[in-house]
């Protein structure tokens, strides 16, 4: 068994006890701060007496897939290639989902450890992430398990390392828009910790609750109390827990509760003519009921030869826009792969979201005032370890340092 595993230019020490990394989708730091303060997370409150209660910056765009892939590879999207849920394939001119492993350019930390003999278990809420997170694992080894709550009734030994995950968990498959979809992950995690005792476990939830409920509200506190109970069980089984988030979450509505939207495609159509530009919203995915495909990050393809300077200046002046970058500057600032972004990168302010055209967004399914993410204002996330750690000084901590901290810096 190797002492040190190197992947994507970073080295990780072999864990002495099981390490469980939890990515709590959309967990703005205030969720756990308020749940702990309100007495809803007794396990975490106790663990923090000697553990590390850190904050880190996630990847911009502050979306689920770019951040989950950064966490499990230890590197930013410029290296691993996954910079959104959707992108415009320059070869075809089509908008395509980026959840196919063919778009992933880096090995995961799981694969590197698994190849060296480790047992690994990965459980996600939605199936959209599963193939990316489990890419390269050899399920025939009997040392790898990877499935989603959403499709736990469709697992096979060959594709997931477990023949019937739902039977193993013993619960009904929850609705894709529910807190139960996340709870299912932890029930499964505890069962696997008992039966398989993986060296590395990764549990990645869904932000359904965070999209609808602000920190400190009863439903949010109940959700975090649920997480706390399972974390206590995992800790009791001897696991070290490292908790982070893919991104934060902010209210994105006006005083009347209506989404505060800038329709960027309409704006560019007015400036340059209909059909000349293409606005891409990388938040778009098949599960839009909780955010209406509205987030705080967009990328824009301009007609050839368009003069970017005056456009950047004009769009920057729009109230609710935080900053407009050209491709090169934006990709340098956020460590993104230039060939997968448009000519401009547009970031909206804390309470504002970006849409394409007014007619393209079905807001009828938004049952609560909009909360969403995607911009720089959702970049701050928790990074909590249940044991004392020594954090390298003078280092900008990122959520994708979580495996480094948990494996290399725990006392």
Tell me whether strands 297-301 and 278-280 are parallel, antiparallel or unpaired.
Answer: antiparallel
What CA–CA distances, in Å, run from 220 to 41, 212, 351, 385? 12, 9, 20, 21
The torsion region of residue 293 among left (phi > 0), alpha (psi -120 to 50) and beta comes to left
The torsion region of residue 366 among left (phi > 0), alpha (psi -120 to 50) and beta comes to beta
Query: How crowded is residue 233: how many other Cβ atoms within 10 Å of its Cβ?
Result: 17
Shortest distance, position 337 Cβ to Zn ion, whole Å: 20
Sheet containing 200-204: give its strands across. 52-57, 380-385, 240-244, 19-23, 200-204, 120-124, 144-148
| CA 70 – CA 83 distance, rounded (Å) | 10
| CA 154 – CA 148 distance, rounded (Å) | 9
Q: What is the DSSP string of 318-333?
A: STTEEEEEEHHHHHHH
Report whether 372 contacts 348 (CB < 8 A).
no
Q: Which is nearer to Zn ion, 25 or 199 (CB)?
A: 25
Query: How crowded is residue 256: how many other Cβ atoms within 10 Å of its Cβ?
Result: 6
Please report the beta strands in 282-329, taking only residues with DSSP state E, as ranges in sequence order: 297-301, 321-326
Q: Which is nearer to Zn ion, 104 or 240 (CB)?
A: 104
Beta pairing partners, 381 = 56
3-state DSSP call for residue 154?
A: helix
Shortest distance, position 263 Cβ to Zn ion, whole Å: 23
Q: Which is nearer to Zn ion, 64 or 399 (CB)?
A: 64
Shortest distance, position 215 Cβ to Zn ion, whole Å: 16
Q: Which is nearer to Zn ion, 25 or 183 (CB)?
A: 25
Query: What sections of 170-237 are H helices per DSSP?
Result: 180-195, 208-212, 218-236
Q: What residue is closest to Zn ion based on CB?
A: 64
Give the interface with Zn ion as residue ranges (CB under 5 A): 25, 64, 207, 246
Query: What sections of 23-125 are H helices per DSSP?
Result: 29-37, 42-47, 64-73, 77-80, 109-115
| CA 200 – CA 81 distance, rounded (Å) | 24
Which tokens belong to 148? 């989603």
């Amino acid at each position: 068994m190797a002492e040190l595993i190197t992947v994507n230019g970073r080295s990780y020490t072999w864990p002495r006890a099981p390490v469980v990394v939890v990515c709590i989708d959309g967990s703005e730091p205030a969720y756990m701060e308020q749940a702990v303060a309100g007495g809803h997370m007794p396990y975490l409150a106790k663990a923090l007496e000697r553990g590390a209660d850190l904050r880190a910056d996630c990847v911009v765009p502050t979306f689920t897939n770019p951040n989950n892939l950064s966490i499990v590879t230890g590197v930013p999207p410029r290296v691993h290639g996954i910079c959104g849920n959707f992108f415009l394939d320059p070869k075809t001119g089509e908008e395509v989902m980026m959840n196919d492993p063919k778009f992933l350019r880096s090995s995961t930390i799981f694969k590197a450890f698994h190849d060296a003999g480790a047992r690994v278990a990965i459980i996600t809420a939605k199936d959209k992430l599963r193939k990316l997170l489990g890419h390269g694992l050899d399920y025939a080894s009997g040392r790898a398990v990877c499935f989603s709550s959403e499709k736990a009734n469709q697992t096979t030994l060959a594709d997931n390392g477990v023949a019937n995950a739902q039977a193993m968990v013993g619960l009904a498959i929850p609705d894709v828009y529910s807190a139960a979809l996340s709870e299912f992950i932890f029930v499964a995690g505890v069962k696997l910790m008992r039966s398989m005792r993986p060296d590395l476990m990764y549990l990645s939830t869904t932000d359904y609750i965070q999209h609808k409920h602000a920190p400190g509200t009863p439903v949010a506190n109940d959700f975090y109390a649920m997480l706390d109970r399972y974390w206590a069980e995992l800790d009791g089984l001897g696991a070290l827990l490292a908790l982070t988030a893919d991104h934060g979450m902010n209210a994105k509505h006006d005083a009347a509760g209506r989404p505060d939207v800038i329709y960027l495609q309409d704006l560019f159509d007015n400036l340059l003519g209909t059909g000349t530009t293409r606005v891409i919203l990388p938040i778009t995915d098949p599960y839009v009921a909780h955010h209406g495909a509205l987030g705080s990050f967009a990328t824009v393809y301009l007609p050839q030869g368009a003069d970017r300077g005056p456009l950047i200046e004009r769009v920057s002046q729009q109230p609710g826009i935080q900053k407009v970058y050209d491709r090169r500057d934006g990709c340098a600032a956020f460590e993104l792969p230039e060939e997968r972004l448009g000519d401009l990168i547009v970031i909206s302010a804390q309470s504002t979201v970006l849409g394409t055209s007014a007619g393209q967004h079905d807001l009828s399914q938004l049952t609560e005032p909009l909360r969403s993410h995607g911009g720089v204002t959702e970049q701050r996330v928790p990074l909590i370890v249940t044991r004392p750690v020594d954090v390298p000084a003078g280092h900008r901590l990122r959520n994708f340092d979580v495996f480094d901290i948990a494996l290399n810096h725990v006392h």
